[in-house]
Amino acid sequence: MVVSLKNTLEEKTEILAEEKFKKGFPFPAESAIIVKNDRTCEGVGYLEKILITGGRPLRGEVNVAGAKNAVLAILSATILSKGLCRIDNIPNISDVSIMLHILHQLGADVRRVGKHTVEINTRYFNSGLVPHDLTKHIRASYYLLGALFGRFGHARVAMPGGCDLGVRPIDLHIRGFERLGASVSFEENAVISMQSDVISGSPIYLDMASVGATINIMLAAVRARGVTVIENAAKEPHVVDLANFLNSMGADVRGAGTDVVKIHGVLELHGCDYSIIPDQIEAGTYMIAAAATQGDVLVRGVIPKHMESISAKLIECGVTVEEHDDSIRVASSSRATRCKIKTMPHPGFPTDMQPQIAAMLTAASGTSIISEGIFDNRFRYAEQLVRMGAVIKVDGKVAVIEGVETLKGCAVRANDLRAGAAMIIAGLMARGTTEIEDVEYIDRGYEDIVGKLRALGAEISRKEVYDVVDPVSQIS
């Protein structure tokens, strides 16, 4: 009976994915993660879990994919051009699949021409409404506001979805758009509507160095009349990567990577060829996994300069870190030692690495303290680590971690993308078997993480679970 249910669901999933592809879904059926992660299919429930048997040191080499946070901004930026953009080093993750699907649904010609290369032509792009059913799965969909407004002078986009990390307002984005001349209103179904007869450059001061606001204002201002100056701008590597991409299309963006970004508006942007920078957070995740398992891993395809804050903390914890031109070796033969961490905007320790290093510190010697300086709800994962035997006390945005000798494998869940990475690291460290649910969060930002870790010697696999769903119970 189980076999027949499994075959039935696989057939239905293939059919649904193929139908999506025929209708213009930008990936072939086997890559249509957005379809595969649907939870039910006519009486059959589908779930995926990750199983890890811990205790094995990671050893070997791993290649890092393109940066998730850069590629989502850059894909949105293709809207600003009326030419063909060929983008290389695109990671195969579900957030990218969703963003490409959104672009295609709005009229872009999206073609995959290689495993990590996509061509996008937005010449005949539709400037209409971007509804909630397209934006609800991905936080970065709010970049469509800046890109659509920058090209057409108007935009209507539903509020974005994404991981629940607490309050993440977009008031800084709105104020920036208004400084450029936008009239902003909020419509039914959580739709943000913006319009302006003329987009005019303006000085804009950000109350905090928001990455999202910096990127969105850059997108809106590149074709504005005059000069826009963003003060207290975010300095993250993906902000710089977006600026480089925009300049490759003919924009005039200066100062990216500093706290003052100047944008001289241009009339038009053209297509270009571009390669996405390596993913700082994916690289950091493998670095910490190597240290946590007392392994020896060479992380290839990185920009060591981007990894300095992470490398510094690992060294402080007694881990060996060797930097090369485009790779970093991380090795350890003993438990990490305690440390204090405060997450901050770049070049400080990134909030997206906080759950991963917390997982490592659960088995470090001594007491560690982590202060979260960005998000309100970043410590939701702590409860899952406690289930594995960790000793963590959370008080608001501060966590105190008492290191234990070892964690114990058990059933846990990924609360969000980076929490999911933390559960994987904890599972690799733990004694026994760890079973991770809600792995769709992990797929949002890590390309083939199971395959890459298995190649490093981890005992890790995906498990597909099929359950009969009572149709009556699904009726609300």
Note whether 80 and 169 are same-domain residues. yes
How are strands ordered across the β-sheet holding 183-187? Answer: 154-158, 191-195, 183-187
Note whether 309 and 268 are same-domain residues. no
Note whether 284 and 386 are same-domain residues. yes
Separation CA 2–CA 401 (nearest Å): 43
Residues annotated as catalytic (active site), given as ranges: 163
CATH code (residue 215): 3.65.10.10
Please give the C-alpha separations between residue 391 and each of 379, 387, 397, 406, 412, in angstroms, as whole numbers.
Answer: 13, 9, 16, 11, 16
Note whether 360 and 260 are same-domain residues. no
Note whether 121 and 91 are same-domain residues. yes
Note whether 124 and 226 are same-domain residues. yes
Give the number of other CB atoms < 10 A from CB of residue 104: 18
**pLDDT of 49 higher than 70:** yes
* Centroid of chain to Cα 118: 18
* Mean pLDDT, residues 8-34 taken together: 38
Note whether 53 and 75 are same-domain residues. no
In sequence order, the β-bridge partners of residue 337 are 365
Note whether 122 and 268 are same-domain residues. yes
97 with 121: CB under 8 angstroms? no
65 with 447: CB under 8 angstroms? yes
468 with 43: CB under 8 angstroms? yes
Structure tokens at 313: 């903390």
DSSP code, position 36: H
Note whether 79 and 220 are same-domain residues. yes
Largest CA distance in the chain: 68
Of 275, 294, 312, the one marking the end of a domain is 275
CA-derived radius of gyration, the chain: 22
* Mean pLDDT, residues 273-289 taken together: 98
The pLDDT, as a whole number, for residue 46 is: 62
- The closest of 261, 231, 228 to 243, measured between CA atoms, is 261
Average the pLDDT over each of 29-38, 82-91, 211-220, 302-311 and give the range with the smallest value.
29-38
Note whether 299 and 444 are same-domain residues. yes
Confidence class for position 467, pLDDT limits 50, 70, 90: low
How are strands ordered across the β-sheet holding 252-254? Answer: 203-205, 227-231, 260-264, 252-254
Separation CA 388–CA 361 (nearest Å): 13
156 with 185: CB under 8 angstroms? no
Average the pLDDT over each of 169-173, 192-196, 346-350 and give the range with the smallest value.
169-173
Separation CA 301–CA 295 (nearest Å): 19
Of 246, 275, 304, the one marking the end of a domain is 275
Which pLDDT tens digit goes with each residue over 105-143? 999 999 999 999 999 999 988 777 888 888 887 878 899
Note whether 30 and 145 are same-domain residues. no
Which pLDDT tens digit goes with each residue over 239-266? 999 999 999 999 999 999 999 999 999 9
- Give the number of domains in the chain: 3
Of 260, 275, 290, the one marking the end of a domain is 275
**pLDDT of 26 higher than 50:** no
- The closest of 321, 303, 300, 241 to 64, measured between CA atoms, is 300
Q: Which residue segment(s) compose the domain that 307 sits in?
A: 49-64+278-466
- The closest of 297, 283, 251, 290 to 270, measured between CA atoms, is 251
Which pLDDT tens digit goes with each residue over 386-422? 999 999 999 999 999 999 999 999 999 999 999 999 9
Note whether 327 and 356 are same-domain residues. yes
